[in-house]
Amino acid sequence: MSLIECRKLSRIYNRGAEEIRPLDQLDLRIDAGGFVALMGPSGSGKTTLLNLLAGIDRPTSGELEIGGLSLGDLSRKELADWRSEQVGYVFQLYNLVPVLTAYENVELPLLLHPISSGERHRRVSAALDVVGIADRHSHYPRQLSGGQEQRVAIARAIVTEPTLLLADEPTGDLDRESATAVMELLSRLNKEQGRTVVMVTHDAKTAQYADVLLHLEKGRLIEQEEMAS
Amino acid sequence: MAGLTSRNLAMFQGGVNMRLLPLSYATRNLGRTPSRMVLTIGGSMLVVLLVLAAGGFVTGMRKALVASGNENNTILLGVGSEESLERSEISMQAAGILAASLDGILNRAGVEGISPEIHLAMPVSLDESTDALGEGELMLVRGITHNAWIVHDEATLLTGRVGEAGRDEAVLGKLAARSLGFEPAENAIDRSIWIDGREIRVVGILTADSGVIEGEIWYPLTDLQVLSQRDAVSCVIVTRDGATPPQIAAFASRRLDLELAAIEEVDYFASLSAFYAPIRTMVLLTALLVGIGAIIGGLNSNYATFVSRIREMGTLQTLGYSRFAITISLLQESILASAVGALLACFIAIFILDGTAIRFSMGVFGLHIDTGVLAGGLLAGFLLGIAGALLPAWRCLTRPIPEALKTTI
């Protein structure tokens, strides 16, 4: 059953007289519970597609449906609500809030939800446990290594139990050992919790954790590769 | 809401997007760059202090002039000198002639409410050498008889006694004493002041409901006549008790030989207040201009701060926080800093500025920091916080989220 459907999805930017098309008439289906890696050279449209899936950018034309909901029809406020409920986003540079502790960073998305403080505490602790960083809950980002910061960022992304987990080069700023740990964590979240993961990566080793590789070039899907499990 | 689907409606009812960032986020952001926090708080404090000083100046001057007029008093002064008692000269005989000519003048325990007075601005020093150089502080010296205490019933002795003629004794107004450096004013008792080469002992301190009298030196009339080498007095002040202002005006116009003009004391101070109105406006305008300058400075400083956090703002929006929620947090941060500055300024104003003696051509008056002035200062601090943050926040938050996330500052 497909979770994401793109039909003739285009995103066009105008830079002066020049028209830039990072996504050009893209057709794509991603199944629920899948682990998809988006690959391709710089400027191929990977991050643009990820931004559209996250609801932080809007298509210029075409249809984008996620879970049967057409994102193009939502207002900015509705999109923000939808993001807080349905999307977890992992950034390449972690993007933790430096003035908040690991616990508070993970708690941040939950403050948007009408749940009790007890329930919030339970969920934050569980998320920190899942990523194996519960013992660092009171540390500030500057007191953590890159790998630990990314684990906190993943905890923040999964704490709201989103339908869709998006990751933009999640290992791009990590050493090999930390990268392996992060990828194993994302793979476990996909397999054990059934979360749909869409990840942008340049790294072939990282891409091996995915079930499906999508190769983009000049804003179009040029190859879809099923990975052997 | 009619066009919303049931899913969207549920979303609105949940109110997810109206949730704000925790206040701790704003307070901790404030401490992110300690030097910036100190500068913001210090800048806000100085601006609010200026607003409070300007407000205290205006209120103090107005209060001094309003409190100085007694509605039963009429001033008889020289024709053509209605705008300044210090320029007026009338015959010493005027007081006696008036007492003999008019009924309906206050009489208390045999002392009539008719006070002949000299008003002179003279340099006053605390030591002989300064006095010899003529470098004393210019202050209003009022030559009085005992009748002055009946006519100016707002004047009361705070401590000490009334000065006796022929003994070089004077009573200082509370503000005059503070203006000469006696803090508290009572410390001036038994100390000497020097006026025009004469050593005068302070024997009393008077108060007068914050009126201009508090900034004066009261010296026996005959002693001042000797000191200033003049026979004439500046004016005669009369307290009516049945007599009417037109009757006194009629007396003044009938006695052409005395060259008198009659003016009600409240009218005299009202005209003085009107005369100084442009000064008050200038003071307020200066405070306003400095405040506007501070807001522009705050805009720059806040923009520099916020622009360095654009990626973080993009992240918060990606998590689902609305621009409104982030704007509120940035405003909280800015208002917190300016409020701390404003509170510090209020403490300084209450404990240091309030009552500070200000020398002015009308005499000495005290800065008056009342609740209205404090409220104005706090409001200025609050507005400084809002105005300084709103535009930078709007500029930073209107960037598209993908662009904000790519920012590397």
pLDDT tens for B92-125 read 889 999 888 888 999 888 889 999 999 998 999 9
Q: Is the pLDDT of residue B306 over 50?
A: yes
Return the residue matching tokens 């000299």.
B118
N-terminal to C-terminal alpha carbon distance within chain B: 41
* Predicted local confidence at residue B14, as pLDDT: 43
In the numeric block, which tokens belong to residue B51? 């607003």
- How far is residue A146's CA from residue A91's CA, in Å, rounded to a whole number? 12
At A125, phi and psi to the nearest 5?
-60, -40
pLDDT band of residue B361 (cuts 50, 70, 90) is: low
Chain B residues with CB under 8 Å of A85 CB are 11, 16, 320
| Cβ–Cβ below 8 Å for A56 and B22 | no
Q: Which range, A108-122, B76-90, B274-288, has the best average confidence (pLDDT)? A: A108-122
Chain B residues with CB under 8 Å of A104 CB are 22, 24
User: By mean pLDDT, which of A29-33, B150-154, B360-364 is the weakest?
Assistant: B360-364
| Cβ–Cβ below 8 Å for A91 and B312 | no
Q: Is the pLDDT of residue B5 over 60?
A: no
Q: What is the mean pLDDT of residues B329-336?
A: 94
Chain A residues with CB under 8 Å of B319 CB are 83-84, 89, 108-109, 112, 156
The verdict on B9 touching A (C-beta cutoff 8 Å) is no
ipTM of predicted complex: 0.94
Domain housing A46: 2-226
Which helix (H) or strand (E) segment is B40 a member of?
helix B34-67
Cα dihedral angle (A141, A147, A148, A154), rounded to 10 degrees? 100
List the single residue in B17, B320, B322 with the smallest CB-CB distance to A109.
B320
Q: Which residue numbers in chain A have pLDDT < 50?
A: none
Q: Interface of chain A against chain B, CB under 8 Å?
A: 47-48, 51, 54, 56-57, 69, 74, 77-78, 80-85, 87, 89, 91, 95, 97-100, 104, 108-109, 111-114, 156
At B160, phi and psi to the nearest 5?
85, -150
In the numeric block, which tokens belong to residue B365? 């008056």
In the numeric block, which tokens belong to residue A25? 């008439």
pLDDT band of residue B48 (cuts 50, 70, 90) is: very high
| Cβ–Cβ below 8 Å for B28 and A83 | no
Work out the burial of residue B242: count CB atoms within 10 Å of its CB; fewer than 13 is exposed, 13-18 middle, 19 or more buried.
exposed
* Predicted local confidence at residue B359, as pLDDT: 74
In the numeric block, which tokens belong to residue A93? 């540079």
pLDDT band of residue B375 (cuts 50, 70, 90) is: very high
pLDDT tens digits, B6-33: 344 344 344 444 688 999 899 999 888 8
CB B308 within 8 A of CB B409: yes
- How far is residue B263's CA from residue B299's CA, in Å, rounded to a whole number? 53
Residue in A38, A77, A35, A28 with CA at minimum distance from that of residue A194: A35
CB A141 within 8 A of CB A105: yes
Q: What is the mean pLDDT of residues B28-39?
A: 88
Q: Is the pLDDT of residue B3 over 80?
A: no
Work out the burial of residue A32: count CB atoms within 10 Å of its CB; fewer than 13 is exposed, 13-18 middle, 19 or more buried.
middle
Q: Is the pLDDT of residue B373 over 50?
A: yes
At A65, phi and psi to the nearest 5?
-115, 130
Q: What is the mean pLDDT of residues B130-148?
A: 89
| Cβ–Cβ below 8 Å for A83 and B320 | yes
* Predicted local confidence at residue B11, as pLDDT: 43
Chain A residues with CB under 8 Å of B311 CB are 95
- How far is residue A65's CA from residue A29's CA, in Å, rounded to a whole number? 10
Number of domains into which chain A is organized: 1
| Cβ–Cβ below 8 Å for B318 and A112 | no
- How far is residue A165's CA from residue A195's CA, in Å, rounded to a whole number? 7
**Cβ neighbour number for residue B374 with a 10 Å cutoff:** 20
Chain B residues with CB under 8 Å of A83 CB are 318-320
| Cβ–Cβ below 8 Å for B318 and A56 | yes
* Predicted local confidence at residue B18, as pLDDT: 62
b (16+ CB within 10 A) / e for A76-106: ebbbbbbbbbbbbbbbbbbbbbebbbbbbbb
User: By mean pLDDT, which of B15-29, B41-55, B143-157, B366-380 is the weakest?
Assistant: B15-29
> CATH number, domain at A206?
3.40.50.300
pLDDT tens digits, B384-406: 899 889 999 999 999 999 999 98
Q: Is the pLDDT of residue B192 over 70?
A: yes
List, as one string, the DSSP characters of A38-105. Answer: EE-STTSSHHHHHHHHHTSS--SEEEEEETTEEGGGS-HHHHHHHHHHHEEEE-TT----TTS-HHHH
Mutate to test the interface with B, among A48, A65, A83 (most CBs of B within 10 A): A83
Q: Is the pLDDT of residue B276 over 90?
A: no
pLDDT band of residue B362 (cuts 50, 70, 90) is: low
* Percentage of residues in chain B having pLDDT higher than 90: 56
CB B50 within 8 A of CB B290: yes
Q: What is the mean pLDDT of residues B69-89?
A: 88
